Structure 1
Amino acid sequence: MQKIVSDPKIIMGKPVILGTRITVELILEKLAAGETSEQILEAHLRLRGCLRSIKYLLISPNPP
């Protein structure tokens, strides 16, 4: 199941976590600012189960 989606009707087409308006950009900014995955999950409980997908995109040399 795809957990990161882009829809021009939601936040101008920015990639978001499926079923939310939480952008991938926001998550990456938080990680870059030094927040841990645990801190991000505490702040955004709807992300449980999706953070693994985001981490995969960060470390994969050829994301899908």
Structure 2
Amino acid sequence: MAIKRVWIEEGCTSCGLCESACPEVFEMPDEAVVIEGADLASNEDGIIEAAEGCPVEVIKYEEE
């Protein structure tokens, strides 16, 4: 299945893990954000790695 949406819920601790795991989709200006227009389909493994590794479990994604 393809990931069609990624978001970050409240509670980000700004640890930087998501940006390290998948800089094509996540960036850390102050808190983690999903880069607008990021190619989710090409970065599914990184998105899943970031979501599974998030220490506060705030990275969420939706599959088709």
TM over 0.5: no
- Using structure 1 for the length normalisation, give the TM-score: 0.28
**Max Rg structure:** 1
Q: Which has the higher contact order (CA 8 A, sep 6+)?
A: 2
TM-score (structure 2 length as normaliser): 0.28
Whichever structure has more strand as a proportion of its residues is 2
